[in-house]
Each structure stands twice: as C-alpha cells, then as structure tokens.
Amino acid sequence: MSRSAPPTTTAASSATAAPAAAPTADELLDFVRRAAADAELIASLPLDPEGRTWVRLDGPGGSEAWLIGWPPGSGTGWHDHDESTGAFATATGELTEHALAVRLPASGWTTLELAEGLDRVRRLGPGHGRSFGRHHVHEVLNASENAHAVSVHAYYPPLPVLRRFSRSGPVLRLERVERPEDWQ
C-alpha cells in the first residue's frame, strides 16, 4: 500500500467546540456521498499506479473518514471494522464489494465454516454508496484492468482495530488484527 501526503483540502470539518452526537449510519452515508461528489476534493488525491493511496478527512461527529485511491486490480482483502459502523461511496470508477450476509461473532474464534448462501456482491459506480453495521465482513476491490477508482469511507467510532481474514471456499480464517498505528 502506498500512502500519500495529506492535501490541504478536507471534507466537512466541524468548527464547533461542543461534542457532537454519534453519527448514525445514514449520516455517515450522507457524508461519504457528499464528499464523493466534491470534484475538487477528489482531484486533490494523488494517484499511484502501484498501490492504494489515502488521505484522512474530517468526518462528521468525530467519525474517522478517508479518501482512498484504488489503482486497477487493487483490493482490501477480507476484513471487518470491529465495533464501528461505516459507510463508503464511490467517486470515480467502480468498486466491487464482496460481503457476508451474516454477523460473525466478535471474538472467540479463529476459523469458521460458512453456510451456503451468505455471499453478496455489490457493484458501486460513481455516486453510489452503502452503509454497514458492526462486524460487517467484506472485501472491496477495483476490478478494472485499466482505470483508477476513488472512494470516500467513514467509520464511527474511529476504528479501534481492523481484523483481516483469509478465505478458502466456505472457510474464513482470522489472520491478524491491525491497530490504528498500523495504517496511520
């Protein structure tokens, strides 16, 4: 993965000193859609042909938000966002999300055999997004062979950990747990 230097532009910064209420999944989705429609913000992200680039944004109500560039063929691998709810929207290109239609246990396991019929696939073109709840397991990828994609993501509470999984057929295996210092 590549990291880029943050541009000076950020989306929707909060200027109030009072603590904000926790944003709902709908508010996160509204934020990522508005940010994905901000042409100046999207154009500010340097794109790398070799790896994903990202810049942290000011999300609503103390949420964690990211502007992410996806070169052709790049993806996240299977992961979840622990106790955080989230949303993401595609600004340019198209992203594909593979997800499981089941809430997995928060802890106490390293390998699970998944029942049939749990897999879901969504294709999200420009302006399209989705929100998700806690422990949502998915992978996101840019399946294009020649075009970058750019998206905006937001999570609340800010990501405490990210669990990474491997998948072989119906078997999902916890591989590692990443903490914020691993990606910031």
What pLDDT was estimated at residue 4? 41
Domain CATH code at residue 119: 2.60.120.10
- Residue 17 belongs to a domain: no
Quick check: is 75 in a domain? Answer: yes
> Over the stretch 63-89, which tens digit does the pLDDT of each residue have?
999 999 999 999 999 999 988 999 999
Domains contained in the chain, number: 1
Averaged pLDDT for residues 110-134? 95
Q: Is residue 33 part of a domain?
A: yes
- The residues, any chain, with a CB within 8 Å of residue 156's CB and separated by 6 or more, are 22, 23, 28, 59, 61, 62, 63, 64, 84, 85, 86
Answer yes or no: is 80 within a domain: yes
Look at residue 56 and tell me if it is in a domain: yes
| Per-residue tokens: 110 | 């390293």
Nearest to 72 by CA among 151, 4, 149: 149
Q: For residue 124, name the pLDDT band (cuts at 50, 70, 90).
A: very high
Residue 54's domain comprises 25-182
Domain assignment present for residue 54? The answer is: yes
